[in-house]
Amino acid sequence: MNEDQNNFNNGSGGGDKRPNRGPATAMMIAIAVIMTIAVIALMNNAVRGVTYQETPYNVFYDHLKNGEVESVTYKESRIDYTLKDDKESSDTIVGKKTYFTGSVPDYDLVPELKEKGVTINGYIPNNSGSVLSFILVWVMPIVLVFLLMIFMSRRLGRGGGIMGIGKSNAKIYEQKDTGVTFKDVAGQDEAKESLVEVVDFLHHPGKYTGIGAKLPKGALLVGPPGTGKTLLAKAVAGEAGVPFFSLAGSDFVEMFVGVGASRVRDLFSEAQKKAPAIIFIDEIDAIGKSRDSRFGGNDEREQTLNQLLAEMDGFDSSKGVFILAATNRPDVLDKALLRPGRLDRRVIVDKPDLKGRLETLKVHAKNVRLDDTVDLEEIALATSGAVGSDLANMINEAAIAAVKQRRKAVSQADLWEAVEVVVAGKEKKDRILSEEEKKTVAYHEVGHALVTAVSKNSEPVQKITIVPRTMGTLGYVMQVPEEEKYLMNKDEMISRLTTLLAGRAAEEIVFNKMTTGAANDIEQATKLARAMITQYGMSDEFGLMGLETVEDKYLEGRSVLNCSEATSALIDNEIKNMLKKCYDKAKGILTENRRVLDAIASHLFEKETITGKEFMEIFNREKNTIPETI
């Protein structure tokens, strides 16, 4: 949706839409006043035609002794004087040049001036200069600070002036502006079912109030990034055809304490005026963090949260105001925000399953021209763990690839390449490996694939490549499951560990050396082995003890140990033993099948990329040397 085409109002809407030029006008007037005062002062000096030149006191005294001084004017700390026959007088505009020298304690000077017939003038202070100084030093800074405060308040209030600093800046979308309905949301059937009744209540409130039912005041959309939480909120508004107030949690937070609370009051006031309406607060964790000291204190954020809680208690849901909020950090939200009567319904928007991925691919591909080779179900099967935004990106990358190759339709090959681009990045054509490095990478990848082919509990190989990619990989093995799985047993996980460590095992067997290419494999293997021991109860040493919990499961999925340091050391030791067993197992498999390893690696070295079919042809040709299972 193009936001430039959205019709939205700040605050209550209506009123004069002309830009407010008050601060700019005041600033221009102040600058004009300063310039006028300066010009008047300069003109005053010019009219008097005064040109000053400093001289030492002894020069002045020499002029006096020679009878050249015409007049003398005493000032606070200096003496101004003019000469009778000054040859440079013609250089001035009006009158003669005035010389000045510093005043010294010479008590004989006045009698001598009288003796020489010099005109003596006293010093009369000029009040206009002090007035100008007062204006410049005191008045103008105060005026400028005042104008700056007005300017800042207008910026903070988004055009609302000093009294508008707390105005809500929520965007109000009409039904035609969202352009999204439930038909545009795929792969989230359970989430849509939870929100359908909200739409029905907004359309037919009497049907529910007649039996005494009350609409929940709010719902919290929870899930990983990219799963479609914001899209679902827009779909609810599009289906209901009611005003949709959309803003992010960070829009409430400002520098001044109380601004966020004022904006919350204004937002709910506007929503109740336009009821039935939907308020959508994206990333609500920005203002809804727990007030527990563990997460740090912030007066502005806490006041905003308190006001939000009060407003959610204060409005009557029967009037048709419904609150939708979205976050991927539900664990940090304040408990008061999640209790019944506020955001009392939690809607999980999780990663789609196989059916959901297929439906999502169909939604994003409906406006893309596809040829007869395309099989979206095959792509959905290969993209386990992908979210809606990933799948949309894959379809778009495939369409771009087809255009680059000057074809009028997207093929299955384009889609497979798009999957690889999203997962591993684009091919790095400028990175040329040496022959030794290329051979090492070939054996490393074939080591992974060969152990996979021999293992009973592993996924079949789709593709092997040693072409470097932009995300740092020098090669990889693509595996595609035959069916969607939701559980893994211990044997499957051991096979996975053995496969991950098979690349390093192949390097040691063939070249008798270790390289940095196994860094990612070791990291994944260690993480999986730790999870088996601490979370899944697959440890011989600890049995069914839960030694670790997962935090931020919708983001990083960071694990935190719940045990003593002594137990942690035992866990590390068991992880090391488990990985060593799997590594030895991988070395044993590859040693027994060295002929097949050499044959496939040689073919991959020449071709750089081979399909799973080519791999299995060579494997079957040499299978008499490979045991059936491990």
> Comparing 36-50, 270-284, 418-432, 487-501, which segment has the lowest mean pLDDT?
36-50
Same fold, 51-124 and 354-424: no
State the catalytic residues: 445
Q: How far apart are CA 171 and CA 573, in angstroms?
A: 56
Residue 221 has pLDDT above 50, yes or no: yes
Question: Can you tell me the distance from the alpha carbon of 443 to that of 605, in angstroms, rounded to the nearest whole number?
Answer: 9
Kindly report the CATH number that applies to the domain delimited by 171-348.
Answer: 3.40.50.300
Q: What is the mean pLDDT of residues 22-47?
A: 52
CATH superfamily of the 435-625 domain: Peptidase M41 (1.20.58.760)
Query: Comparing 159-163, 245-249, 368-372, which segment has the lowest mean pLDDT?
Result: 159-163
Question: Which option is the CATH number for 51-124: 3.40.47.10, 3.30.720.210, 3.30.2020.10, 3.20.20.140?
Answer: 3.30.720.210
Q: Which CATH class is domain 354-424?
A: mainly alpha
Question: How high is the pLDDT of residue 581?
Answer: 95
What does DSSP assign to residue 619? Answer: H
Contacting residues for 290 by C-beta, under 8 A, at least 6 apart:
332, 333, 334, 335
Residue 57 has pLDDT above 90, yes or no: no
The pLDDT of residue 17: 38
More confident position, 560 or 457: 560
Digit-coded pLDDT (tens) for 390-412: 899 999 999 999 999 999 999 99
Average pLDDT over residues 163-175: 52
Helix (H, G, I), strand (E, B) or coil at 246: strand
Long-range CB pairs of 567-573 (<8 Å, 24+ gap) are 570/541, 570/542, 571/530, 571/533, 571/534, 571/542, 571/547
Confidence of residue 9 (pLDDT cuts 50, 70, 90): very low
346-367 pLDDT, tens per residue?
A: 888 888 888 889 999 998 998 8
CA dihedral 262, 268, 270, 276 (to 10 degrees): 170
Residue 159, pLDDT > 80, answer: no
Segment 270-290 shows an average pLDDT of 84
- Give 561-575 pLDDT, tens digit per residue: 888 889 999 999 999
Tell me the pLDDT of the chain averaged across its residues: 79
Q: How many CB atoms lie within 10 A of CB 116?
A: 15
Q: Is the pLDDT of residue 532 over 90?
A: yes
Question: Which sequence spans correspond to the domains of the chain?
Answer: 51-124, 171-348, 354-424, 435-625
According to the model, what pLDDT value does residue 173 have? 54
What is the total residue count of the chain? 630
- Write the pLDDT tens digit of every residue in 300-344: 778 888 888 888 876 666 667 788 899 988 888 888 888 887 887
Both structure tokens of 295: 């997460």
pLDDT of residue 23: 46
Supply the pLDDT for residue 561: 84
Residue 475's alpha-carbon distances to 401, 443, 464, 522, in angstroms, are: 21, 11, 8, 16
Confidence of residue 271 (pLDDT cuts 50, 70, 90): confident
Query: Poorest-confidence range of 109-113, 155-159, 171-175, 621-625?
Result: 155-159
